[in-house]
Each structure stands twice: as structure tokens, then as C-alpha cells.
Amino acid sequence: MKKLFTLAAIALAAFTLISCAGKSKNAVASTQKEETVMKPAASEATGMAAKFMKSTEKTKEEEKAHAAEMEGFEQKEALYESAARHGFKLGTVINPQNLQKKAYTDMVKADFNSLTAGNEFKAYSLLNQSASQKNENGMPAMNYYNADKIAEFAQANGIGIRGHVLVWDAYMPSWFFREGYKNDGAFVSSDVMKKRLQYYIEEVVAHFEEKYPGVVYCWDVVNEAVADGTNECKADDPRRVRTSRGGTTNYFYDVIGPDYVELSFKYARQAAKKANANIKLFYNDYNTFYSPKREAIGKLIESINKDEKLCDGVGMQGYVGGYGQQSGCMSANDINLFKNAITFYSKMGLEVQVTELALRNYEKEKAEQHAKYYENFFKMLAAAADETKSLTCVAIWGICDNPALPKNDYSYKMNGPYCGMFNYDCSKKPEFFRVAKALE
Ligand code: GLA
């Protein structure tokens, strides 16, 4: 982890940390792993793209299969319009490199009405250490350069943004929590840290609302605060709030205290009110459809909303299938569990958004099975949306295939190389048409 932070610091200087984030999603017990891998740097990604172009040349058989899939199906409306009939927005993910790729921006503009920045809205991307050290009021300073590019694109195309994310313990540089914002400073007191956090949240919420009014329609206030098991939280905490992650201290918990999640929501609500913004506030996490994590998340949200409704909804990330391997992928039972979880959260009076959907598939030969799984998954989502009236967005993060990824690459393991509704070149896969049919 230390090594990761060193690497991250270098990346920050060179590229404001846009390309490094990640950790494992322990989708099923049999595939549990704790692993942290860097995403490829921009230059590596470009190299991979070039290498990939060769392998994307479609074979005649693939062309035929694709044509057959499309046969008899005429797309009458944008996919987000079909989703809207079930009451939810259709979203996907974007980063500054994608903004340079016309095929990607065309894909977004045609069928999606919600966007999430991959990393650019996160605190570790926005916080600027040297500017914070120089800030006369002692409060943190931010650099919005990359985030603004994404917000500008969204605004220009009438697309809403899921603000992601205000507070996340992973990859947080410890200097944010130290005297003078110095790498070797002593940790500040809980009171000082609360002021810093409140200031940070107010500034960030206000920045986007003032510059791009109404574009950010919701914020993930806190990400992944609930531990998977009982070994990364206090044994007597029913909310299972993380004290650490993969051996690294959760500084928010350590410096602010066990109520840092509740406080973050309080600050976020105040910030939205102050900015006069109509913004929904979400708690976001992975493995939200597995028990007992689902129940612990329920307890945490009850605690957040104890005196006043501060949390409007739960973000279900949606990494579905084995982590880094085919085993565990495309399980019919996961579809049932997902639906039960939507109902569970909805009964708590919460909105539900699927925030980072990746229906994993690691094997090209399983293409037909994957398309069918996509269809079944979206039939379930449409039914859950109709029944509960609580599902308000489905954002797909495993949106394009990427077969050139090496097996040890973080994105390979995280999404699976054949997870997409689109090919690497952003052309539509049979999955796309199956979703369109499922939402009809
Ligand atoms: C988590 C975060 C996302 C992203 C993924 C890895 O799910 O919420 O922002 O960093 O990990 O791609």
C-alpha cells in the first residue's frame, strides 16, 4: 500500500492522479481476494489501444452474428428514453481520455443521460497539496481542471452528472489529515479535521452548482464505508464502518471519529442547501446485494437518517460475477439477490441507483450467454423499477469490451474483458439490442 501511495504521488505530479484507482470487489466468497493494482497510465492505455485495433477487426462470422442479432430490431428511440419509461436514467462512465475519442462521446450522446467521472470528482483528484499549504485560511484548496472538462461536456450535451464521490477512504493521501498539509506533519485534532471536511464538501458542491447549475443532480457522499467482514471494523459496530482497508488505516475514522459518515452527510446536506441546489445524496458501496453487508448498510443509513433524512438513497455499484475469473460469472442467483436488495432498500424509503454496473465475462466464447444474461438482468431492473418506483438511475461502467487487457491488469479483473454492451470501438454489441428489447 505504501508503494502504491509513492507511485500515486508521482502520478499526481505528472497527471493529477487521473489514472490510478482501484481495489478488489469480492463478489463471491469463493473468489475473495484483497488486491490493489494501478490502472494503466494514459500512455500505456494509448499503446494498448493501438495494439488492440488489430484484434478488433471483425471476422466475417462475427459480422454475420451481429447482423442477425440486429435483424428484425429497429431502435425506435434512444436507450435512455426507454429507461425513462421505467423511471430511471441510463448512465455510464467517462474520463478525460474518453472525451478525446469521438466514437466514445458519440456513444454517450446517443444513448445516455447520466455520466459519472471515473476518478476526476474524487477528493484525491481535486485536492491540491501545495495550494492547500499556501491557503491563508488554513483550509484545503482544490484544482478542478479535469473535473471541469467533464462537467462542460455534460452541460453542453444536456446530460446530468452523478457526483462521485465526496468522501472515500481509499487512496486518500494522509497529508489531508496532517498539520500544515505536510506529508510528515502530526495528525490534526478531530475538531480541525471536521472543519476541513465541512469546508471541502461545501466548496466542492458549490463549485459545480455555481459553474454548471443543475448539472450535478446527485452526489455519492460516502463510498464503501462498510466493511465486508468483521475484521476491518469494530466487533460491536452494527454499521460495520471500516476502521481500515487492506491493512491501511481509514483516516476519516481515525482522525474524525466513528461518526464521520453521519457527519459527512450532515455537511453535504448543509452544502446543498447553502448552494440552493436540488441534489440527492447517496451512500455508495459494492457487494450491496449480499447479506450480511446489505443489512449493515441498512443499519448505517438508519443511523445517518436518525434525526433527519440526510441520505436519500443507496448506490449499488454492481460488479456482478467472479473477480478476475469466469467462475461465479452470470449467475442467475445474483439476479435474484440484486432484485431482493432493490426491494429491501426501497422499503426503507430510499431511492436506489445502480452506479457502476459491470456484468463480468472473461471468455469470448460465452458471448451469447452474456447477451442473454444482460437481457435477463435488465428485465429484472425494469421490473424492480416498475414495482418499487425507487430505481432512479442505472449507470454502466463495464460499458465497452477491452480484450487486449492483460490478465494481471486491474480493469481486466474488475470488469472482465468481454463485459460490454459495446465493442472496444464503441460499436453496438448484441447486448445493446437485448437491453433495448428488455426495456421496451
Ligand atoms: C470503486 C469506486 C470507483 C472506481 C472503482 C474502480 O468502485 O467507487 O470510483 O474507482 O472502484 O474502477
Within 10 Å of residue 183's Cβ, how many Cβ atoms?
A: 12
174 burial (CB, 10 Å; 0-12 / 13-18 / 19+) is: middle
Distance CA 390, CA 352 (A): 6
Is there a domain that residue 91 lies in?
yes
Cell of residue 342, nine digits: 432493490
Is there a domain that residue 383 lies in?
yes
Testing ligand 1's pocket by substitution, the residue of 95, 356, 397, 402 carrying the most ligand atoms inside 8 A of its CB is 356
Distance CA 440, CA 432 (A): 12
| Residues, the chain | 440
Q: Is the confidence at residue 20, as pLDDT, over 50?
A: no
Does any ligand 1 atom lie closer than 6 A to the CB of residue 215? no
Cell of residue 28, nine digits: 463471491
Distance CA 170, CA 291 (A): 23
Distance CA 420, CA 427 (A): 10
Q: Assign residue 435 a region: left if phi > 0, alpha if psi is -120 to 50, beta otherwise?
A: alpha
DSSP state of 29: G
Please report the atom of ligand 1 found closest to the CA of residue 164: 9
Read off the pLDDT band of 368 (50, 70, 90): very high
Name which residue sits closest to atom 6 of ligand 1, judged by CA.
22
Is the model more confident about 148 or about 49?
A: 148
CA 299 to chain centre: 22
Tell me, yes or no, if the pTM score tops 0.85. Answer: yes
Q: For 314-335, write each residue's pLDDT tens digit.
A: 999 999 999 999 999 999 999 9
CATH of the domain at 134: 3.20.20.80
148 burial (CB, 10 Å; 0-12 / 13-18 / 19+) is: middle
Q: Average of pLDDT values for 228-241?
A: 96
- pLDDT computed for residue 63 by the predictor: 59
Q: For 167-184, write each residue's pLDDT tens digit.
A: 999 999 999 999 999 999
CA 342 to chain centre: 17
Q: Average of pLDDT values for 63-92?
A: 84
Q: How many domains does the chain have?
A: 1
Does any ligand 1 atom lie closer than 6 A to the CB of residue 414? yes
Is there a domain that residue 284 lies in?
yes
Is there a domain that residue 70 lies in?
no
The Å distance, Cα 22 to ligand 1 centre, comes to 6
- pLDDT computed for residue 430 by the predictor: 94
Is there a domain that residue 337 lies in?
yes
103 burial (CB, 10 Å; 0-12 / 13-18 / 19+) is: middle
Is there a domain that residue 52 lies in?
no
Tell me which residue of 21, 30, 23, 27 sits closest to 287, measured CA to CA: 27
Distance CA 129, CA 10 (A): 13
Does any ligand 1 atom lie closer than 6 A to the CB of residue 21? yes
- pLDDT computed for residue 229 by the predictor: 87
CA 182 to chain centre: 29
Distance CA 152, CA 11 (A): 24
Q: Is the confidence at residue 21, as pLDDT, over 80?
A: no
Backbone dihedral angles phi then psi of residue 162, each to the nearest 5 degrees: -85, 115
Tell me which residue of 270, 118, 142, 246 sits closest to 194, measured CA to CA: 270
Tell me which residue range forms the domain holding 362.
79-438
Q: For 405-428, write each residue's pLDDT tens digit.
A: 999 999 999 999 999 999 999 999
Q: Is the confidence at residue 437, as pLDDT, over 90?
A: yes
Is there a domain that residue 98 lies in?
yes
Catalytic positions are 224, 356
